[in-house]
Structure formats: structure tokens, C-alpha cells
Amino acid sequence: MDKKTFVVIVTRGHMLDKECLAAAMKTSAPYIGMIGSRSKVPSAYKFLNKKGLHPEKDKRVYAPIGLNTGGKSPGAIAVSVLAEILAVHHGRDGKHMRL
């Protein structure tokens, strides 16, 4: 993984997500997104803190993944994730362009 790699972690297993996040944080990927609930993400961070990693301080880590569009379907979540990746890729904040 290099500076052109955007990492998306969307597995079903909690332990696997933590391990994937730990591995991704050791790369130069500019974006590391992990799907997760409001309870799963802090649990993963706590696990990684015990291993000396601090995802909450790493500005490349986005968890829960995606922009807050309110969508709940898999398709809506996928679009919000891609929108977030595009915003990061282009150095933008993903806010509305309304005048």
C-alpha cells in the first residue's frame, strides 16, 4: 500500500477489522476507512491503543466510514463512502456546496 492506496475495511468480523486497521496504519495510505457502529469503533480503538497504536490521533483514519447522508441501505452507504474518499483525494471537506 502506498500514497495512492485508499483502504476500505468492511469485513463482518470485529477482530479481523482491528487487525486490518492495525496493518493499514503501518502503511502510507492517505485514507483508511473502517465500517462500524458507534460502539464498535471505540472498542477497536481501545484494542489498538493497548498495542501502542492510536487511530483516534491518525487523521487518515475515518471510522465509522462514510459521510453522514442519513442513508441506511448498502447502496446509500457505498455512495457515502465513495464521496468521502473523493473528498479526501481532492483535499476537500465533503460539505455541501450551497451558496
pLDDT of residue 11: 87
Position 41, amino acid: V
Could you count the other beta carbons within 10 Å of the beta carbon of residue 47? 18
Least confident of 5-14, 27-36, 39-48, 73-82: 5-14
Residue with more model confidence, 90 or 11: 90
pLDDT category, 56, cuts 50, 70, 90?
very high
pLDDT of 77 higher than 80: yes
pTM over 0.85: yes
Q: How far apart are CA 16 and CA 82, in angstroms?
A: 22
pLDDT category, 12, cuts 50, 70, 90?
confident
Name the CATH superfamily housing domain 6-89. Answer: NAD(P)-binding Rossmann-like Domain (3.40.50.720)
Q: How far apart are CA 97 and CA 3, in angstroms?
A: 27
Question: Rg of the chain over CA atoms, in angstroms?
Answer: 14
pLDDT of 14 higher than 80: no
Q: Report the mean per-residue pLDDT for the chain.
A: 93
Position 80, amino acid: S
Domain ranges within the chain, ordered by starting residue? 6-89
